[in-house]
């Protein structure tokens, strides 16, 4: 059955649009990149950087940085699920670390928003380095919709003037 839902961000679905993370200072400072977006989906990448290492002996990226990557992917997947943009706030994020991320590798998070209710959305995520079928972490997240009356930061992405064929 074809998807007949209207998506507020449909015009920017497809290959990476880094402005979707640029409005979040922490994500921008970490160098996160948007690889792909689509209906209910976001794939983000965090380039390996020595200063993000939390275990200098094993050269493993700090767990808080991985959680930030996962949370950001979740938020974008939720935004890509909405017919009308509104504020999104993390309510619960359960991350299961299955193994250490491989040192020296870029890290990816693929988030799928599998259910949107009136005021809450539910997301599942796999985090991996090379292949999604070999994740180093999995996550289930719950997000509040319409958390405040100031609108969504994604409004700036959607309403940005077109430059070089992209908003």
Contact 20, 154 (CB under 8 A): yes
- The predicted model scores a pTM of 0.86
Mean pLDDT, rounded, for 111-134: 97
The DSSP secondary-structure symbol of 69 reads H
pLDDT over 80 (residue 132): yes
Closest alpha carbon to 123 in 109, 133, 107, 102: 109
More confident residue, 148 or 70: 70
pLDDT of 159 strictly over 80: no
Of the chain, the percentage scoring pLDDT greater than 70 comes to 86
Pick the CATH number of 10-159 from 3.10.150.10, 3.10.129.10, 2.60.120.10, 3.40.250.10: 3.10.129.10
Query: For residues 140 and 76, is the Cβ–Cβ distance under 8 A?
Result: no
Average pLDDT, the chain: 88
Count helices and strands in the chain by DSSP H and E runs: 4, 9
Predicted pLDDT at 155: 55
Checking 29-32 for CB contacts under 8 A at 24+ apart, the result is 30/65, 30/68, 30/69, 32/69, 32/72
Averaged pLDDT, 93-119:
96
């Amino acid at each position: 059955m074809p998807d007949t839902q209207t998506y507020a961000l449909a015009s920017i679905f497809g290959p990476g649009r880094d402005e979707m993370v640029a409005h979040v200072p922490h994500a921008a400072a970490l160098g996160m990149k948007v690889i792909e977006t689509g209906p209910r989906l976001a794939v983000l990448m965090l380039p390996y950087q020595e200063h993000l290492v939390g275990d200098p002996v094993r050269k493993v990226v700090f767990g808080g940085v991985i959680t930030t990557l996962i949370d950001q992917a979740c938020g974008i997947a939720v935004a890509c699920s909405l017919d009308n943009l509104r504020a999104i706030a993390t309510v619960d994020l359960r991350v299961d670390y299955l193994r250490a991320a491989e040192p020296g590798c870029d890290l990816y998070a693929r988030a799928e928003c599998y259910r949107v209710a009136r005021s809450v959305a539910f997301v599942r995520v796999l985090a991996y380095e090379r292949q999604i079928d070999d994740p180093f972490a999995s996550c289930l997240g719950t997000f509040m919709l319409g958390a405040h009356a100031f609108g969504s930061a994604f409004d700036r992405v959607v309403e940005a003037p077109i430059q070089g064929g992209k908003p």
